[in-house]
Structure 1
Amino acid sequence: MISDQLKRIMLNIARIAIKEEFMGHKELNDDVKQRLIAMHPELAKPGAVFVTINERSSLRGCIGSLVAHRPLIDDLIENAKAAAFGDPRFPPLSPEEFDKITIEISLLSEPKPLEYRDIEDLRAKIRPGIDGVVLKLDGRQATFLPQVWEELNDFDQFFAHLCMKAGLPANCLAYHPEIFVYQVEKFSEEDFQG
C-alpha cells in the first residue's frame, strides 16, 4: 500500500506530464525528478502503472505497462503521455479537453501465470473485480484491468471482449490461451477532491 501523499504526488506527476506537452517545455526535467525521488524513494524503484484518462465519466485513453521495466516515475510519465496522446482508439487530447479530464492510476502487481485445466476450472479460479487478466495466444495478447469487471461483470462476456481485444475470436478460451493474473492499487483525482 502506498501513502495518500504519494498517490497525490503520482496523480500530479501524470497531470504535469500531459500538460507539458501543450506548453512546449519540460517541467519534469531531471532536476525535478531527482527532487521528487529524494522525497519519495519509491519513485525510483521499478514499477508498472496504467494511466486511465476519463472525460465526464467516459474513457478518453488508457495505456500502461504490464511488467515493471523502468523506474516508477518514468513509467508514470511515459504512460500518462501515451494515454493522452497515443491511445489508438482516440484522437490526441486537445488543450481544450485538458481541464475536463480526470486521471486514474493503477499500480500493478507482477502478473503471475494461472494454471487451469479447462474453461470451468478457469471460471472457478478467476476472481472478478480483484484480478486483472492478461491473455496470450498465438503471439497475440491483451489485458483488462480489474476495474473492467465493473462494466463486463459476466465471466463469458469479460473473456469474449478480452479475446477480441487481442485480435482473436470471441471464443478463444476454447484454444486454452495462457492466462496471467495481477492485482492493482487504484486511485484517482476524484478520490482527493472536496
Structure 2
Amino acid sequence: MNTEQRQQLLAIARQSIQHGLQDGRPSSVNAQDYDKSLQQPGASFVTLNVHAQLRGCIGSLEAWRPLVVDVAENAYAAAFRDPRFPPLNESEYPQLEYHISLLNPAEPIQFTRESDLLAQLRPYVDGLILEDHGHRGTFLPAVWESLPDPEQFWQQLKLKAGLPADYWSDTLKVSRYTVEEFG
C-alpha cells in the first residue's frame, strides 16, 4: 500500500464509525469508487485505541470482500460490536486512534508437539490462528508487544480461544500470517 491508499483506508474507517454514531450502521462503500488495488478482496483488522488503551478490535482472517468494504465493516464492528466493550459513544469519537492491519494469507504450521510449535514462532512477525474442536482464536503480530515470550503468547491465545492454558490435542491446527500495519 502506498501512502495515499493507506490514508484512504484510514479515512474510510473514520467515516464508517462516524456514520455509525449518526445512523447506527456502517457507511456503505462503493468499491468501484476506489483504486483497483483497494477493490480487490482483502482481509483486515481495525484496532481502535483511546489514550493508548484498547477500545475495540475486529477483523477478517480471510479475504472474501473488497478491501475497502472490509475496512469499513470492521471499523464499525470494532467501535460498536466488540463484545469486550460497550458501543462507542460520541464523546469517545474525537479521541480514537486508528490502526489498520492488512493480513497476508495464513499458512499452516507443521508440528508434532508443543515445543516444536514454540520453536517455530517468530516473535513480532507472526500473527497466529489456533483452531481445535470448534474453538478458534487469533492474535495479531502487535500482541507480541504485550506478550513477548512465545510460551506466554501461546498460552494466552489458547485462553482467548476458550481453551485452558495447558491445553494440548493432536488435532490442534495453527496457522501463521503476517500483516502490513499502519495508523
Is the Cα–Cα contact under 8 Å of residues 26 and 72 in structure 2 kept in the other structure? Answer: no
Aligned residue type for 1:160: Q
Structure 1 portions without partners, runs of 5+ = 189-194
| Superposition pairs of residues 5-154 of structure 1, within 5 angstroms | 5-24=4-23, 28-29=27-28, 33-35=31-33, 37=34, 40-154=35-149
CA distance in 2, matches of 1:150, 1:33: 34
Query: What count of residue pairs does the alignment treat as equivalent?
Result: 182
CA distance in 1, matches of 2:78, 2:45: 9
Identify the structure with the greater helix proportion. 1
TM-score computed with the length of structure 1 as normaliser? 0.89
- Offset of residue 34 of structure 1: 3.0
Structure 2 counterpart SS, 1:157: helix
- Offset of residue 13 of structure 1: 0.4
CA distance in 2, matches of 1:151, 1:56: 16
Residue 191 of structure 1 corresponds to none
CA distance in 1, matches of 2:163, 2:20: 35
What RMSD in Å do the two structures reach over aligned CA positions? Answer: 1.6
- Offset of residue 175 of structure 1: 1.8
- Offset of residue 52 of structure 1: 0.1
Aligned residue type for 1:21: G
Residue 169 of structure 2 corresponds to 175
Structure 2 portions without partners, runs of 5+ = none
- Offset of residue 145 of structure 1: 0.2
CA distance in 2, matches of 1:78, 1:28: 8
- Offset of residue 159 of structure 1: 1.0
Structure 2 counterpart SS, 1:107: strand
Q: Which 4+ runs in 1 deviate beyond 4 A?
A: 25-30
